[in-house]
Amino acid sequence: MDRLEAMQIFARVVERTSFSVAARDLSLPPSKVTEAVKQLETRLGVRLIERTTRAMRPTQDGEAYYRRCREILNEVEDAEGAFRGAKPKGVVRLDVQGALARRFLFDSLPEFFAAYPGIELIITETDRFVDPLREGIDCVLRAGPVRDGDYVARPLMQLPEVTCCSPEYIARYGMPERWDRLEGHRMVGYRSSATGAVLPLEFMVDGELKTVMLPSTLTVDGAESYSRAAALGLGLIQVPRYSKEDAIARGELVAVLEDTPPSPTPASLLYPSGRLLSPRVRAVIEWVTEEFRYGQ
C-alpha cells in the first residue's frame, strides 16, 4: 500500500470515528483499513488511534498527523481538480458561534450544496476563542473583538446590540431608566473567554462609550446560559439584537435603555494566513461573506 492511500484511509477513519464506517465509505475490507493504520503507526513509531470497547479517537500525535495528512490530500485533490476543470470538492472545517450561524448561514445551506455538491462541511460550535492554524480549522466565524494571530480576519458586519431583561426582573427591580442611574439593579455576569474577566455593561452616550459594572449573583461563560439567566429574571444582559428579536416580540424579554445602546459587535471570518487557500475553502469563505452581506 502506498503512503498516499494509507493517508486517505487514516484520514477517513478519524473523520468517521470508525474503522468499519471508513471501510464502507472507501469500499475496502475492514481488515485492510485496520492494517493500514497499524502499518502507519509502525512506520511512524507513534500511536495514532486510541481504541476502547466503546469508542475510538485520535491521540495527540494522531491529531497532528491527521492535520498534515488532510493538507497533503487536499493539495493533491486541488491540483488534479484544477487540470480537470472540476468544481471544488473535499472537507472544509468551519467553527462557528451557533446562534450566529443559524441566523445568517443555515437557511442557505441547501443552495450552497447544490452549487458545490463535492464539498463536505464539518461545522463545530464553540463560544471560546479558536486558533484555526493550531487546531486544524479551515475557517472560524466569530462575533467580538479579534485577537492578533497568524490568521486573516475578514470583517463581515457590525451586529447591533441590545440591553434586555425579563418582565419578572422589572417587576422586582423596576424599569431601568438611565444608564447612569442603575443603583439597585443587577446584571448577569459574562466572563470573557479571551481575557477571563467579567465584562461590564456598555452604553454609547453621545458617541462616547461608557461602561458600568453592576453586582451579579451569577456569572457564566456561555451564550445560552447568559440568555437563560436573563429569562429567569437574574439580571440585565447585553446581546446581539438579532438573537433576541423573537423573545422580545413574544414578551419574554424587554428591551431597555434603547437610547443608549451598547456598542455594536463586529462579526468576522478567520482563516489561516501565509498559505494558499484551496478552492473549496475559498468557496466557503465567499459563501459566508455573501450571506452576511445579504443579511445586513
pLDDT at 175 over 80: yes
Q: How far apart are CA 121 and CA 287, in angstroms?
A: 12
Q: Same domain, yes or no, for 256 and 117?
A: no
- Give the pLDDT of residue 165: 97
- 38 and 81 housed in the same domain: yes
End-to-end Cα, the chain, rounded Å: 52
Q: Which three cell numbers stand for residue 251?
A: 414578551
Identify the pLDDT of residue 266.
Answer: 92
pLDDT in tens, 85-122: 668 888 888 999 888 889 999 999 999 999 999 999 98
Q: Do 274 and 141 fall within a single domain? A: yes
Residue with cell 438573537: 243
* Residue listed under C-alpha cell 486573516: 152
Statement to judge: residues 81 and 96 lie in one domain: no
- pLDDT for position 157: 93
pLDDT at 38: 93
Report d(CA 153, CA 273) in Å as an integer: 9
DSSP string computed for the chain: --HHHHHHHHHHHHHHT-HHHHHHHHT--HHHHHHHHHHHHHHHTS--EEE-SS-EEE-HHHHHHHHHHHHHHHHHHHHHHHHHTPPP-EEEEEEE-HHHHHHHTGGGHHHHHHH-TTEEEEEEE-SS---HHHHT-SEEEEES-----SEEEEEEEEEPEEEEE-HHHHHHH-----TT--TT--B-EEB-TTT-SBPPEEEEETTEEEEE----S-EESSHHHHHHHHHTTS-BEEEEGGGGHHHHHTTSSEEE-TTSPPPPEEEEEEEE-SSPPPHHHHHHHHHHHHHHHHH-
C-alpha cell at 89: 470538492
pLDDT at 296: 61
Q: Please indicate, yes or no, whether residues 73 and 147 belong to a single structural domain of this protein.
A: no
pLDDT of residue 203: 97
Q: Which residue has the higher pLDDT, 271 or 203?
A: 203
Instruction: Name the pLDDT band for 196 (thresholds 50, 70, 90).
Output: confident
Residue 212 domain boundaries: 161-262
Instruction: Show which of 85, 119, 145 is a domain's final residue.
Output: 85
**Same domain (yes/no): 151, 176:** no
The residues near 67 (Cβ < 8 Å, ≥ 6 apart) are: 136
pLDDT computed for residue 83 by the predictor: 66
Domain shared by 136 and 272, yes or no: yes
Query: In CATH, what number is assigned to the domain containing residue 237?
Result: 3.40.190.10
Q: Are 146 and 271 found together in one domain? A: yes
Q: Are residues 67 and 192 in the same domain?
A: no
Give the number of domains in the chain: 3
More confident residue, 296 or 273: 273
pLDDT for 228: 95
Residue range 219-270, pLDDT digits in tens:
998 888 999 999 999 999 999 999 899 999 999 999 999 999 999 999 999 8
Model confidence pLDDT, tens digit, residues 11-65: 888 888 888 888 988 889 999 999 999 999 999 999 999 887 667 888 989 988 9
The C-alpha atoms of residue 214 and residue 227 are separated, in whole angstroms, by 17
Q: Are residues 293 and 176 in the same domain?
A: no
> Contact at 8 Å (CB) between 34 and 49?
no
Give the per-residue pLDDT at 56: 82
Q: What would the mean pLDDT of 136-148 be, rounded to a whole number? A: 82
Q: Clarify whether residues 203 and 74 are in a common domain.
A: no
Q: The domain that contains 67 carries what CATH number?
A: 1.10.10.10
Whether 63 and 193 map to the same domain: the answer is no
